[in-house]
């Protein structure tokens, strides 16, 4: 299952949007520069210039044992919820780093390019992301959530 995180008009009275603004998954008008351009966030197949391919961070969270946070990435959020969620992601990343600090062998991140092993009834992964790559993906998602919420937009989690 994929996961593209797309900005949407928040819908709360605190973040009213111009009546002429189309809710097209962007945070800017068609003739305005994209505030996410310099961030270079990963995009999904149906993502917009302002979106984030959330599947990456969700899989990394799951691999590192943060199942509840991973599942929450599949939830739609208002702007204030997105900002709060960004903080939760940062706290989790800090905690994961602290717990792994003195370990000789860091935990692996998410497995990629899996092939189902029917005989043993399990997935065999071709490769895994490193712990550092996993933490970077989680922190990148936190930056995206905070930025979207700070611009007064909620999140539509399209999966």
Q: pTM for this one?
A: 0.91
- Give the model's pLDDT for residue 92: 98
Q: Which residue has better confidence, 100 or 11?
A: 100
Q: How many CB atoms lie within 10 A of CB 15?
A: 16
Map tokens 């399209």 to a residue: 158
Can you tell me the distance from the alpha carbon of 37 to that of 124, in angstroms, rounded to the nearest whole number? 36
Can you tell me the distance from the alpha carbon of 159 to that of 146, in angstroms, rounded to the nearest whole number? 21
R_g of the chain computed on alpha carbons? 17
- Give the model's pLDDT for residue 45: 81
- Give the model's pLDDT for residue 120: 86
Listed by start position, the domains of the chain span: 4-158
- 113: confidence class by pLDDT, cuts 50, 70, 90: confident
Beta bridge partners of 4: 53, 158
Summarize pLDDT for 27-86 with one digit per residue, the tens: 988 889 999 999 999 998 878 999 999 999 999 999 999 999 999 999 999 999 999 999
DSSP letter at 88 equals: H
């Amino acid at each position: 299952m994929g996961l593209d995180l797309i900005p949407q008009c928040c819908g709360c009275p605190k973040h009213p949007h111009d009546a002429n603004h189309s809710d097209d998954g962007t945070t800017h008008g068609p003739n305005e520069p994209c505030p996410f351009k310099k961030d270079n966030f990963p995009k999904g197949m149906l993502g917009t210039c302002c979106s984030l391919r959330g599947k990456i961070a969700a899989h990394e969270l799951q691999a590192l044992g943060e199942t509840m946070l991973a599942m929450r990435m599949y939830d739609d959020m208002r702007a204030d919820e997105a900002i709060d969620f960004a903080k939760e992601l940062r706290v989790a990343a800090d905690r994961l780093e602290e717990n792994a600090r003195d370990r000789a062998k860091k935990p692996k991140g998410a497995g990629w390019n899996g092939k189902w092993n029917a005989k043993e009834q399990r997935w065999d992964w071709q490769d895994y992301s490193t712990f550092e790559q996993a933490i970077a993906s989680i922190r990148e998602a936190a930056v995206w959530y905070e930025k979207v919420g700070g611009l007064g937009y909620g999140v539509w989690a399209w999966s």
